[in-house]
Structure 1
Amino acid sequence: MQTSILNQLAVAAPAGAPPVWVQYLPFAAMALIFWFLIMRPQMKQQKDHKAKLSALKKGDEVLTGGGLIGKIVKVDENYAEVEIAQGIKVKALKSTITDVIPPAGSKPAND
């Protein structure tokens, strides 16, 4: 005997009460709101960061997760060699690079 879950829930509910599945609507709405307000923007931000890291090239000025600012000297698949002062180079994981600093002569984004 095949019956749908909605029919079973409707039968289990006392007479005059709304179906049980209606009680789950607020939880579904909260999950949807959580998705659109938190998860989706975070995934977009991660995607943008990944695109920035894949576009790194020699000469870019970057900010690392440790707060060091320097110029990229060499880039490979997982690492970037960053010159933080003249003659001082450090090897950093590409994933620890938090931002690419635009050149000083470029226009601000809001102008």
Structure 2
Amino acid sequence: MNSAALTLLSAAASGGQAPPAWAQFVPLVAMAAVFWFLILRPQMRRQKELRSKVDGIKKGDQVLTGGGFLAKVIKVDDHYAELELGPNVRVKALKSTIADVVPPGGVAPAND
């Protein structure tokens, strides 16, 4: 009796067709598409905007450095920017370490 039941179950299981092999990759492709559109693409857009801001730095702009310092730009070179952190405190920084360019009136409060 046991072998008859196993024979019936194996016949029923083998009667159905297996899904095509490419169907196994559909979830992976879908996850990659979601990852691209929700994470990678917005990040690349932000990096491009920051790069264009940093390339457009000119004398007198106020910038935020990677270390968190607000500074005024005194002189700009191809790779370096001379920054004034305070009265008579000047530093030379790589342009790639500039985290943001602060607009001329500062940042608007979050509750406005």
TM-score (norm: length of structure 2): 0.78
Aligned partner of 1:54 in structure 2 is 55
Shift of 1:90: 0.2
C-alpha displacement of 1:26: 0.4
Report the counterpart of residue 30 of structure 1 in structure 2. 31
List runs of 5+ in structure 2 lacking aligned partners.
Answer: 1-14
CA RMSD of aligned residues (A): 2.0
Per the alignment, residue 82 of structure 1 pairs with 83
CA distance in 2, matches of 1:107, 1:79: 25
Q: Between the two proteins, what is the percent identity of the paired residues?
A: 54
* Poorly superposed stretches of 4+, deviation over 2 Å: none
Look up the match of 1:64: 65
Query: What is the distance in 2 between the residues matched to 1:27 and 1:48?
Result: 30
Q: Structure 1 length normalisation: TM-score? A: 0.79
Aligned partners of 2:49 and 2:84: how far apart in 1?
A: 24
* 1:100 Cα deviation from its structure 2 partner: 1.1
Letter in 2 for 1:16: Q
Query: Structure 1 residue 59: deviation in Å?
Result: 0.1
How many angstroms apart in 2 are the aligned matches of 1:107 and 1:88? 24
Q: CA deviation at 1:107?
A: 8.9
Cα separation, 2, equivalents of 1:29 and 1:86: 55
Q: Quickly say closer, same or farther: Cα 1:90–1:107, change in 2 above 3 A.
A: closer
Cα deviation digits, residues 11-66 of structure 1 (max 9, x gap): xxx96111010111000100111110111011101100100000000000111011
* CA pair 19-55 structure 1, distance change in 2 beyond 3 A: same
Could you say what secondary structure the match of 2:82 adopts?
strand
How many pairs were matched up? Answer: 96
